[in-house]
Amino acid sequence: MGQEMDSNAGHLISTTDLGDRDLRHIVDQGARFGDRTEPPGRPLDGAVVGIYFRKTSTRTRTAFSSGALRLGAQIVTFGPGDLQLNTGETVGDTGRVLAGMLDLLVARTAGKEQELRDLGRSGLRVVNAMSELEHPTQALADLTTLTRRFGSLDGLRLLYVGEGNNTCTALALALSRYPGVHFEARTPPGYGLPATILTEAKSQARDHGSTVVERHDMDDLPTDVHAIYTTRWQTTGTVKPDPRWREVFTPFRVHKGLWRTSPDAVFMHDLPAHRGEEVTADVLDGPRSIAFQQAENKLHSAMAVLRWCALGVPSELVEATR
């Protein structure tokens, strides 16, 4: 690489891999890139970034591919059938080979997080572009979007409606580390946040003076929230075993009535959206929706993630927080 990888940088497989300083740095830098108050430069000149997607992607794959190129890197792309993992090579052996040829790997497996950690055991720096449990880069893009909209995340109130999927998981783990935040998830019965994630998010919230709540009904919604967030009901790479699951999800559709107690709330969606299922068209395409700005912010956030993975937090910021 034109600029050596920094020892303070590392993997981004879960938001829990980030210290508070790292989390804030990535989010704030993504917002500055989006606001064009900080030029991204070309810190990855000479680097080679692998883009490995086993599942479909429009926003995340394009954001990291475009972001790597804009930062000066070359990219090598792999589709779901391109690596010898399909013929029985171990994940560890694949990671060892890739570590000798790539500087970073952005991977969407929709599988277990451990596979991504095994890919990185030989020194290859790995970015989780969505696993079964968590979608950390989505949360970072969401926090970038909210920062650009509200200026600060401290004291933010967010209502999440829908399945406790990997997007919800990442959002709960990330937002709960900002002071004064109220994160409330309303999830269908049987489709809530994993118990371990909810416990971790609540613990983080206590440490930061915030609150995390989960309920399985749509009664007594929180008032004066800043944002209402949903995701599509069919998470990429998953199948629901209950053939009548839509009946359980229908009360959790986002519609204009949810704005009665929070008239100024913005609407967020990680996309792709299915109008008439998880959200009505008049909400998604209405004046309170920032879903497509949210999608654009994936690029700015991806560049901040790639820069952090390569260079870490600038030394002057490290010193300032000691």
* SS3 call for 13: coil
- Phi/psi class of residue 312: alpha, beta or left (left: φ > 0; alpha: ψ in -120 to 50)? left
Q: What are the φ/ψ torsions at residue 29 (nearest 5 degrees)? A: -70, -40
Question: Is the CB of residue 119 less than 8 Å from the CB of residue 105?
Answer: yes
Separation of alpha carbons 239 and 173, rounded Å: 24
The owner of tokens 């994993």 is 194
pLDDT for the residue numbered 241: 84
pLDDT for the residue numbered 235: 77
Report the CATH fold assignment for 138-295: Rossmann fold (3.40.50)
- What is the DSSP secondary structure assignment for residue 132, as one 8-state letter? S
Domain boundaries, the chain: 15-134+298-320, 138-295
pLDDT for the residue numbered 10: 78
The owner of tokens 């200026």 is 151
Q: What is the DSSP string of 153-196?
A: -TT-EEEEES---HHHHHHHHHHTTSTT-EEEEE--TT----HH
The owner of tokens 């950690």 is 117
Percent share of the chain, pLDDT over 90? 89
Question: Is the CB of residue 214 less than 8 Å from the CB of residue 189?
Answer: no
pLDDT for the residue numbered 76: 98
Question: Is the CB of residue 190 less than 8 Å from the CB of residue 201?
Answer: no
pLDDT for the residue numbered 237: 63
Tokens of 60: 């995340």
Positions of the chain with pLDDT under 70: 1-9, 236-237, 314-322
Question: Is the CB of residue 33 less than 8 Å from the CB of residue 300?
Answer: yes
CATH architecture for the domain at 15-134+298-320? 3-Layer(aba) Sandwich (3.40)
Count of positions (residues) in the chain: 322
Tokens of 89: 């090579």
How many CB atoms are closer than 10 A to CB 287?
Answer: 9
How many CB atoms are closer than 10 A to CB 243?
Answer: 7
Give me the residues paired with residue 132 across strands: none
C-alpha distances out from residue 169 to 80, 130, 194, Å:
25, 11, 8
Question: Is the CB of residue 153 less than 8 Å from the CB of residue 146?
Answer: yes
